[in-house]
Structure 1
């Protein structure tokens, strides 16, 4: 049986414990379909819910500077620290994609670039601080191609965590 002093110490320890980020449920943007008020505002060729095995990812292909852009009513991502998604570079891979948060409908310059691998699903975690989005009211996320046209890639399980 714990002593009174041990019990008080245990209770005090609970009071000082920091809340876990796991208490904030993930905000799902896309998982086989757009969710939670997110909409397709892309300026690239985008096909939603393309059957691929047991999933239905988004297929994206575009001209120079085109983008997969997903939009919703603005929100402050309090409690979230990263944007996560699964991406597949398609048959060729190597697309150069800049990931940007959107604030007031405009992309925030972040210089965060990824290059998906060919025929391989990769889980990507982008810290919100890298998107210069911490504490800002975000109303969209964009995966923007660079100065050349790009071959199709596939993306799914997009969410804030």
Structure 2
């Protein structure tokens, strides 16, 4: 062993000796991959159980194929799934566009035990503009819960056509 290699070996050995015992470090569990709910089409396992006028994969003359919705008061876009745990997820994200008129007030709700969790998270849509919405699951009462779907519900007035796409849990 050359003098140079011996010095490097001795220095490395000394550093380990004075550093104390080496223990395996705990690592935080990996966050789950985003759960895609809708991106031009419904993801497998998700169903459209809406009781508002909805159209999936709407052709709006671009590469985006959103869900379009219009409704009477209290009707909703309802995306249903067999019950699953939200453990590891912290927020629901999606893109919305208020269509030509905008101004619609929509309440977003998670369903636990097939019942919506009130009061929900209220959003107001902008006309002809795509906006990303990030809803903390804590605001939906859905942190570490077993949910069976999500609602986007019109409030006390009719809702003109609006669009939603790229819906996922993160």
Match of 2:74 among 49, 62, 65: 65
CA contact (8 A) 1:110 1:132 kept: no
Query: Which position in structure 2 is the counterpart of 1:84?
Result: 93
* Gap regions ≥5 residues in structure 1: none
Query: Which position in structure 2 is the counterpart of 1:74?
Result: 83
Whole-angstrom distance in 2 between the partners of 1:54 and 1:8: 58
Whole-angstrom distance in 2 between the partners of 1:66 and 1:92: 19
Whole-angstrom distance in 2 between the partners of 1:33 and 1:26: 16
Is 1:19 matched up with 2:22? no
Is 1:4 matched up with 2:22? no
1:130-145 → structure 2 map (5 Å cutoff): 130-145=139-154
Is 1:39 matched up with 2:39? no
Equivalent position SS for 1:15: coil
User: Over aligned residue pairs, what C-alpha RMSD do you find?
Assistant: 1.9
Query: Which position in structure 1 is the counterpart of 2:58?
Result: 50
The CA deviation at 1:17 is: 3.9
* Gap regions ≥5 residues in structure 2: 1-7
Whole-angstrom distance in 2 between the partners of 1:149 and 1:130: 25
Query: Which position in structure 1 is the counterpart of 2:4?
Result: none
Equivalent position SS for 1:42: coil
Is 1:28 matched up with 2:40? no
The CA deviation at 1:94 is: 1.0
The CA deviation at 1:6 is: 8.5
Residue-by-residue CA offset, 1:122-141 (whole Å, 9 max, x unaligned): 01110000000112210010
Whole-angstrom distance in 2 between the partners of 1:104 and 1:43: 19
Name which one, 1 or 2, has greater alpha-carbon Rg. Answer: 2
